[in-house]
Amino acid sequence: MTAGTHRRMMLVAHTGRSDVDITARKVAATLAAAGIDLLASEGERRELGLNPFEPADEGPDATEPSIEMVVAIGGDGTLLCAAEQARPLSAPILGINLGRVGFLTEVDLDDLDEALQAVVDQRYRVSSRMTVQVRVEHDGRFITGGWALNEISVEKGSRERILDVVVEVDGHGVSAYGCDGVLCATPTGSTAYTFSAGGPVLWPGVDALLIAPSNAHALFARSLVVSPESTVTVHIDPDGPTAILVCDGRRAHEIPPGSRVHVCKGERPVMLVRLTEQPFTDRLVRKFKLPVHGWRDQRH
């Protein structure tokens, strides 16, 4: 933001919880005391007594974003919700963790006062995170699409049926298998759903696409890490059941048998606010409570 620019920020919160309400009001009061407006969407602004956000001020001709950042109060799910608001605004997201793990969030509640002062003083940096985008075709026609910060998953639509797929990279078949689903993830998403499916953890600085089958029945069903320039295609058996396309676990679409799901690197990233220079390694150890002291420390 340039000097003299009126500062405006947007709030996205997991409302309906007393701790979220208390934290949101504290954030709003602190920012207001510094001359910063905190705005919110219709439902949240009524519950928290904030002014409404009017997206009409945003546009391709704007010299700079009218929203400096989006403040997300909750857990990783709330931050993914905030990403839907922040991405088209080209605004970074500051995650305040009131969830469980909160891997994507930057601030724990104990550090809130210090974090808000850093925001007021504009002592923060912005980290760019790769996204993925998806295009679904059936009989040569486009039927739906979307994007995700974490992952795009193609899942079986029926609990009783296996999803039979062929996975291709740049138009070349890699493997066919029956499975519960196939995930195409970013490095950011490697610590989320894909991690639970047995995929590897990728550092955010690795520019790549991650493919991870879920509960696959096949001799070769390993996770794959491919070039960010590649296109991953999941071809769904035309004689099988309907599948479900899910973006970030939030936006779901039914897709018919025989569809081809094309996934590639997203054209627009999501930006995250960072207040410290904490390495990703330290974040991984802290959030997952990994043991870093072992047999070496037992020697005398």
Q: Among candidates 67, 61, 55, 51, which has minimal Cα distance to 1?
A: 67
- Do the beta carbons of residue 271 and residue 128 sit within 8 Å? yes
Average pLDDT over the chain, rounded to whole?
A: 89
The pLDDT value given to residue 132: 98
Residues with catalytic annotation? Answer: 76
The pLDDT value given to residue 63: 46
Domains of the chain (ranges, CATH numbers): 8-129+269-288 (3.40.50.10330), 132-265 (2.60.200.30)
Looking at residue 1, the DSSP 8-state letter turns out to be -
The pLDDT value given to residue 15: 77
Q: What residue ranges of the chain have pLDDT lower than 70?
A: 1-4, 55-65, 294-300
Q: Among candidates 13, 41, 17, which has minimal Cα distance to 27?
A: 13
- pTM, full prediction: 0.88
Looking at residue 7, the DSSP 8-state letter turns out to be P
The pLDDT value given to residue 118: 96
133 vs 96, 165, 207, 277, CA distance in Å?
26, 19, 15, 29
Residue-wise pLDDT for 61-99, tens only, equals 544 458 999 999 999 999 999 999 999 999 999 999 997
The pLDDT value given to residue 50: 85
